[in-house]
A = this chain, B = another copy of it.
Amino acid sequence: MKQLYAGKTKDVFELENGNYLLKFKDDVTGEDGIFDPGANTVGLSIEGAGKAGLKLTQLFFEKLKEKGIPTHYISADVENTTMTVVPATVFGEGLEVICRYRAVGSFLRRYGKYADEAQALNGFVEVTLKDDERQDPPISKDGLAMLGILTNEEYETLKELTREISQVVKDELAKKAIELYDIKLEFGRDANNQILLIDEISGGNMRAYKNGEYIEPLALEKMMLNN
C-alpha cells in the first residue's frame, strides 16, 4: 500500500485495486493549541478526533448514497479509522465550496456592511481557492472559467450539488434540534470526469448552533452520533 499524500488531518494511500484509502488522524487544525476548523495549521492532537470525524462522515455519506448523490465514498472501517474511496482529482489545486444559511465567519467579515450577524442567507453558495498563503480567496464563476479551473457548466453542477448535499446535512442536524449555519465541501472529478463530493463531512466542515450557541466540532460529533 503506497502512501500518496500526508495531509494535515488525513493521510492518503493507494490500494492494490486502484482505490484510495483515507486514514483519519487525531490531529486537528488550530492555532496555539486551540481547535479551529478554519485554521490552516495543525494545532493539536485530540484522542478519538479521527474516529469521531470518520463516524460522522460515514453517517452523512451513507445518507447521500441513499439519495443517489455522487460522492467518492465506498466504505468506512471505523475500527481502523479508514475510509475507502474512489480516486478523484481536484479542480485546479483545490477549491472549497461553501453553502451559507446564516451570515457568520468570512461572509460577515466581507459583507458586514450589508448583512447583520446570523442573518438568514437561504443557502447562498460561494467558492474559494484553497491557498493558505493568500487566505483562501473567494472567486467568481467567471474567474474560475477564465483561469481554466472550472467550466461554466461544471460551476452550475457544483452549485447544484452543494445545495443538495448541504440540505441533507442541514436536515440531519435538524433532527437533533441543531441548526446548520454554514458548511464547506470539496469536489473532484473521477476517471469518467463525473463530479463527485470528496474529502469528509465532519464537525470541522461546518458551523452548527443549538439555541443560538455555537457547538464545537467534537461536541457536535458526540451529539450527532449518540443515538
| Interface residues of A, count at CB 8 A | 29
Contact B114 A147 (CB under 8 A): yes
Contact A146 B124 (CB under 8 A): yes
Whole-angstrom CA separation of A141 from B115 in the bound complex? 16
86-139 of chain A: CB within 8 A of chain B: 92-93, 109-115, 121-122, 124-126, 129, 131, 133-134, 137-139
Residues of A within 8 A of B (CB): 92-93, 109-115, 121-122, 124-126, 129, 131, 133-134, 137-143, 146-149
Closest B residue to A112 by beta carbon equals B134
Closest B residue to A133 by beta carbon equals B113
Whole-angstrom CA separation of A110 from B134 in the bound complex? 6
Contact A111 B137 (CB under 8 A): yes
In the assembled complex, how far is the CB of residue A167 from the closest CB belonging to chain B, in whole angstroms? 17
Supplied contacts A110-B134, A140-B141, 4 more A-B pairs, CB within 8 Å: A114-B147, A124-B146, A125-B142, A126-B140
Known A-B contacts A121-B146, A124-B146, A142-B125; A137 and B110 likewise in contact (beta carbons under 8 Å) = yes
**Which one of B124, B133, B139 lies within 8 Å of A143 (CB-CB)?**
B124
Contact B111 A143 (CB under 8 A): yes
Whole-angstrom CA separation of A107 from B137 in the bound complex? 10
Contact B139 A110 (CB under 8 A): yes
